Amino acid sequence: MSIFIDGDTRVLVQGITGKEGAFWTKHMRELGTKVVAGVTPGKEGLDVDGIAVYHTVRRAVENHPLDAAMLFVPPRFTMDAVFEALDAGIKKIVTIADGIPLQDALRIRRAAVEYGARVVGGNTSGVISPGKAMMGFFPWWIERVYKSGRIGVMTRSGSLTNEVTAMVVEAGFGVSTLIGVGGDPVPGTRFAEMLPDYQADEQTDAVVIIGELGGTMEEECAAMVAEGTFTKPLVAFLGGRNAPAGKRMGHAGAIVSGGVGDVAGKTRVLKEAGAAVAERPRQVGILLADVLGTPL
């Protein structure tokens, strides 16, 4: 069992004929992803490496059973592409677009909740279950960093994800499923909404969250640990601990406002709930070994 995606997940790529869509579709297939159809308006009848292309998601669904949609669509068109996938009955969607207009992101979030769907992103590298499948644009050298294993990873960061995950692997562990929820202020899916899936997954022994200053996603995870709805070990690394007060770091989601969202406060709440918090990326693997009783 994997979270969100595995080797049996049948994936549609929206924007498949574009430069990025075609390039990363090929890479996703090389990593085991079952890409079965693509969509680009006006390009029906073409194919990309043997993958049939359709005008609309509805047309693709009529011809292929589909479980998930991967969007390589510009920010200003992302909302319409998400709505099209949702209307066609697709419940798992990943969108990598950076800079989705805030009002569009709010509408995407609301629609996902109404449809009972999971929209991951925007501003994310995507989702990967190592050795099984990938939706997104993790780099071609990914096999050196992302080894299959029993540690779930959720991340808000792009730059820190590879570094922290490499430390998980160096400590002798591997990853069950990594989900990049994205760095925008309004992600389609939040950390706490994914924790029940990791809790239910028999192939996940612990979860690592890679957080940042700004927002309340890490505090929401702490609340689930404190109330006992998430009972597996939780290890966190929080970027931005040395950021000046009130400073936005990196992207739109990493900003402290109204006195809420600073790393010190997040660290305190997580520790009080019983989670382990690493001060440096290398400590993540050490803390996993401590809480799981597994030697490095």
CATH number, domain of 204, equals 3.40.50.261
**274 and 161 part of one domain:** yes
Assign 66 a pLDDT band (cuts: 50, 70, 90).
very high
Structural domain that includes position 242: 145-296
Q: Are the beta carbons of 15 and 28 closer than 8 angstroms?
A: no
Q: What percent of the chain has pLDDT over 90?
A: 82
Amino acid at site 23: F
pLDDT digits (tens, 9 = 90+) for 216-236: 999 999 999 999 999 999 999
More confident call, 214 vs 111: 111
**98 and 198 part of one domain:** no
Whether residue 165 lies inside any domain: the answer is: yes
More confident call, 230 vs 159: 230
What is the reported pLDDT for 134? 96
Structure tokens at 30: 């090389």
What is the reported pLDDT for 241? 62
User: How many domains would you assign to the chain?
Assistant: 2
Determine which one of 27, 55, 64, 251 is catalytic. Answer: 251
Is a pLDDT exceeding 70 seen at residue 247?
Answer: no
Q: Are the beta carbons of 98 and 252 closer than 8 angstroms?
A: no
What is the reported pLDDT for 8? 97
Count of C-beta atoms within a 10 Å radius of residue 52? 18
Is a pLDDT exceeding 90 seen at residue 141?
Answer: no
What is the reported pLDDT for 75? 96
**275 and 164 part of one domain:** yes
**7 and 39 part of one domain:** yes
Is a pLDDT exceeding 50 seen at residue 257?
Answer: no
List C-alpha distances in Å: 170 to 31, 118, 284, 286: 21, 31, 10, 10
Whether residue 93 lies inside any domain: the answer is: yes
Is a pLDDT exceeding 80 seen at residue 261?
Answer: no
CATH number at residue 6: 3.40.50.720
Whether residue 152 lies inside any domain: the answer is: yes
**114 and 177 part of one domain:** no
- b/e string for 194-211 if b means 16 or more Cβ within 10 A? bbebbeebeebbbbbbbb
What is the reported pLDDT for 138? 87
**111 and 221 part of one domain:** no
Whether residue 130 lies inside any domain: the answer is: no
Q: Which residue has the tokens 């993540």?
A: 284
Whether residue 38 lies inside any domain: the answer is: yes
Q: Which of 123, 155, 190 is the last residue of a domain?
A: 123
Average pLDDT, the chain: 91
Is a pLDDT exceeding 60 seen at residue 251?
Answer: no
**118 and 225 part of one domain:** no
What is the reported pLDDT for 235? 98
**117 and 67 part of one domain:** yes
Is a pLDDT exceeding 80 seen at residue 291?
Answer: yes
Whether residue 16 lies inside any domain: the answer is: yes
Is 24 exposed, middle or buried, given 0-12, 13-18 or 19+ CB atoms closer than 10 A? Answer: buried
**112 and 44 part of one domain:** yes
**149 and 36 part of one domain:** no
pLDDT digits (tens, 9 = 90+) for 183-213: 888 999 999 999 999 999 999 999 999 999 8
> Distance between CA atoms of 70 and 92, rounded to whole angstroms?
9
251 flagged as catalytic: yes
Q: Are the beta carbons of 147 and 24 closer than 8 angstroms?
A: no
Q: Are the beta carbons of 156 and 220 closer than 8 angstroms?
A: no
pTM for the model: 0.91
**217 and 266 part of one domain:** yes
Is a pLDDT exceeding 70 seen at residue 249?
Answer: no
Whether residue 159 lies inside any domain: the answer is: yes
**119 and 157 part of one domain:** no
DSSP per residue, 217-267: HHHHHHHHHHHTS--S-EEEEEE-TTPPTT---SSTT---BTTB--HHHHH
Whether residue 218 lies inside any domain: the answer is: yes
What is the reported pLDDT for 246? 54
Assign 159 a pLDDT band (cuts: 50, 70, 90).
confident
> Distance between CA atoms of 224 and 146, rounded to whole angstroms?
27
